[in-house]
């Protein structure tokens, strides 16, 4: 009985911590370099300072990746047939969230630091990922195509690339740094996020401030 009560209290405590985050509106007037300058200077960075991103910075970053633009139906990154099949997950030191573009929320998925899964699997790991305060993981949701055939796989990869490049250019433009990566523990992430066989982690971008 005592053990049962303790488990209940623990679960309730964990649920209380498990909170979605309502992000502030993305800042449309933030200081940034021009697209041409960002294109000309963008480069992959694999060393980060320990400076965290606040919620405004997170909001701006997620919006740049695949946020809502002219109406709830359109995003900063184009997708084939406007299927919007790229899900964006945010991994930080404390928890994992899914970005919800329309409500501008981070939906809580699970507690804990799971950035090691983004760093890589047993065979190959890139530990520098653990330095970055945030990792953005792109997942193709084939349910939205209604198919997982070769065409859908190609479109999903292209669309994830669009989201990743938005992140690359945005980071460069505002003084953050990142690297697009295919390396990650795909099966570990699938399990952690309770993804189905129709949802595939495909790319990730660790993001932080440059190391001084």
Ligand X SMILES: Cc1cc2nc3c(=O)[nH]c(=O)nc-3n(C[C@H](O)[C@H](O)[C@H](O)COP(=O)(O)O)c2cc1C
- Give the residues lining the site for ligand X (CB under 6 A): 43-44, 46, 126, 179-183
Torsion of CA 147, 67, 166, 45, to 10 degrees: -110
Closest to ligand X by CB, 21 vs 130, is 130
* Residue placing its CB nearer to ligand X in the complex, 115 or 181: 181
For the CB of residue 86, give the shortest distance to ligand X in the complex, in Å: 14
Smallest distance, Å, CB 197 to ligand X? 22
Find the shortest distance in angstroms from Cβ 176 to ligand X: 14
CA contacts within 13 A on the Cβ side of 191: 9
Look-up: residue for tokens 């963008």? 42
Query: For 149, which DSSP code?
Result: S
What torsion do the CA atoms of 69, 74, 76, 78 make, to the nearest 10 degrees?
Answer: -160
Residue 144, φ and ψ in degrees, nearest 5: -75, -20
Q: Considering the complex, state which of residue 78 and residue 180 has its C-beta at the smaller distance from ligand X.
A: 180
Q: How far is the CB of 166 from ligand X (least distance, A)?
A: 13
Nearer to ligand X, 26 or 134 (CB): 134
């Amino acid at each position: 009985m005592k053990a049962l009560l303790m488990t209940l209290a623990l679960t309730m405590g964990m649920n209380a911590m498990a909170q979605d985050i309502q992000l502030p509106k993305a800042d449309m007037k933030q200081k940034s370099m021009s697209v041409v300058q960002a294109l000309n200077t963008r480069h992959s960075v694999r060393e980060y300072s320990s400076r965290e991103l606040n919620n405004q910075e997170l909001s701006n970053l997620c919006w740049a990746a695949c946020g809502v633009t002219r109406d709830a139906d359109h995003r900063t990154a184009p997708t084939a047939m406007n299927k919007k099949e790229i899900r964006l997950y945010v991994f930080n030191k404390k928890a994992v969230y899914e970005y919800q573009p329309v409500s501008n929320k981070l939906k809580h998925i699970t507690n804990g630091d799971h950035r090691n899964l983004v760093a890589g699997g047993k065979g190959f790991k890139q530990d520098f990922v653990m330095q970055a305060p945030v990792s953005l993981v792109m997942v193709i949701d084939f349910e939205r195509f209604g198919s997982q055939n070769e065409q859908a796989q190609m479109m999903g990869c292209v669309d994830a690339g669009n989201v990743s490049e938005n992140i690359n250019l945005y980071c460069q433009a505002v003084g953050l740094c990142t690297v697009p990566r295919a390396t990650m523990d795909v099966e570990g992430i699938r399990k952690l996020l309770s993804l189905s066989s129709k949802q595939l982690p495909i790319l990730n971008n660790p993001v932080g401030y440059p190391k001084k």
